[in-house]
Amino acid sequence: MDARTETDVAHVAAAIGDPSRAKVLLALAGGGALPASALAAEAGVGNSTISGHLARLLDARLLTVELDGRHRYYRLATTDVARALEQLALIARPLPVRSLNADTRAKALLRARLCYDHLAGRLGVAVMSALQEREILAVERTGSGGGSPDADAGAGTGGTGAGSLDVAYVLTPHGRQELAAFGIETDRLPRRRASVRYCVDWAEQRHHLAGALGAALTARLFDLEWLRHGKYRRVVHLTDAGREGLATAFGVRGDQVE
């Protein structure tokens, strides 16, 4: 058997499995880059200890490091690492909440957060639902082991609910026009990744939009100042302008994102 047909899942799982390293990965799941000192604070360990954890994550190809002069900044190696973390959260038990600050952070993450470079949480799920209702995205049932996505169609793991068929989302011609009017030229999306993909949101157990389109839409919301970064890492907040704008542009209701 060709060894390249198998992957060393245990090696990656062991790298993620340490609580301190898991905190490092989650701190970077919003797509940013952080120095070792900031990651040590996130993980609750000393600067001397964090170097070993970072080396382990680099060895597992979960992180990359960027040099800026004498400084080193760490980020997730690929968007697939963020997707893997989101999927693991689907089967993980919740962490106990032992303080008011932890409770506030947990509620903010549930409401709206970044999953690497795209929107997740209740807000992300509401936007995804609105895109379907406006027929910007069309749903294709593919069945178990369905067809592979092309540049404008994306599949993901799981379905719209427990036990459902796999689905693919396709960007419609009408959707291209609507998104162009919103400031997103879909024919200029990066071709190195699928345009339309989805993640199964661990909190909502429903889909939020990923892929190049999910990243472009989220970037556009920041450009319009409809989204702003929150106090906690990965957390984002919908501004008043964003609440009104999303309702007008895509029909996202306020009660869907509270």
Question: How many Å apart are CA 206 and CA 45, to the nearest integer?
Answer: 35
Phi and psi of 256, rounded to 5°? Answer: -80, -20
What DSSP line would sit under 57-87, residue for residue?
A: HHHTTSEEEEEETTEEEEEES-HHHHHHHHH
Intervals of the chain under pLDDT 70: 1-5, 142-165
Phi and psi of 156, rounded to 5°? Answer: -150, -170
- pLDDT on residue 148: 35
* Exposure b/e, 162-196, CB count within 10 A at least 16 = b: eeeebbbbbbbeebbebbeeeebebeebeeebbbb
- pLDDT on residue 203: 87
- pLDDT on residue 152: 45
- pLDDT on residue 159: 39
- pLDDT on residue 98: 86
